[in-house]
Amino acid sequence: MEDKQIQAIENCRLKIPCPAITPDKAKKIDSFFNCEKILYAAKGPSLEKYKLFDQYEHIATVNEACCKIDKGIEYAFFFDKNAILNSKESWNKIKNFVSPSYVFEDEIDADPVSISNIENFPLYRSIYFEEDQMDFDKSAIQRKITNKQLLTVDTAIMGLHYLVLAGYKEIFLLGHDGGIGYAEGIPCLKKNRNMQQFRDRIEFCSKLLRQAHGVRIIFYEQ
């Protein structure tokens, strides 16, 4: 990395989760310098409304939510191989993939698979970490936030914490609806899955992140 790039990172105090990324991977950061807001999209029904929020120049997505976005995506967050493959048509729109180095297979008893073994996966645009998925334990979550260690509870919470650590000051959550179902046309296995527990958990983590970092985290409300 050139000296002027290193100096630019230091000047803007860009916080990047460790060990998710190292300086040699911080290759597409220029847009951070003038942008502190991001639209963070998940697969819930309100994802259909994302075009109403053009004031957010940056977009990040959870799993297959990237398939509904028709512009460039700063970060796409994944925990599962199936979600990565379901999103293949959108790979060219994604600037940075963020995931564990080993992602889950669909089969319950199957061993995780290295992202380097996913056929044609653009590893050079991947930011990965070595931690396993953690249980939803409130005390452990509080400790990790205090220590600035990336939360790996689920894909949506991992992504939200990553964006906070990356320096965004306002994060608008769309498609993190709770309740039943997903946005139209989203390729996923459980169409009628109840997402309320996921909503409750991300709200809990959002409250702690607001307190710890002073960041604005805004949920879309009907």
Backbone angles phi, psi at 81, to 5 degrees: -60, -40
C-alpha neighbours within 13 Å on the C-beta side of residue 14: 23
pLDDT in tens, 173-210: 999 998 888 888 887 656 677 789 999 999 999 999 99
pLDDT category, 14, cuts 50, 70, 90? very low
pLDDT in tens, 142-181: 999 999 999 999 999 999 999 999 999 999 999 999 888 8
Q: How far apart are CA 73 and CA 137, in angstroms?
A: 31
User: Which residues, 6 or more positions from 63, have their beta carbon under 8 angstroms from its beta carbon?
Assistant: 42, 43, 77, 78, 79, 80, 83, 86, 87, 155, 188
Query: In this structure, are residues 97 and 199 in contact, taking their beta carbons and an 8 Å threshold?
Result: no
Residue 156, pLDDT score:
97
In sequence order, what are the beta bridge partners of 90? none
Between 3.30.70, 3.90.1480, 1.10.260, 2.60.40, what CATH number should domain 3-219 receive? 3.90.1480
Domain ranges of the chain: 3-219
Q: Are 45 and 199 in contact (CB under 8 A)?
A: no
Listed in sequence order, the DSSP H helices in the chain are 3-12, 81-86, 138-146, 155-165, 196-213
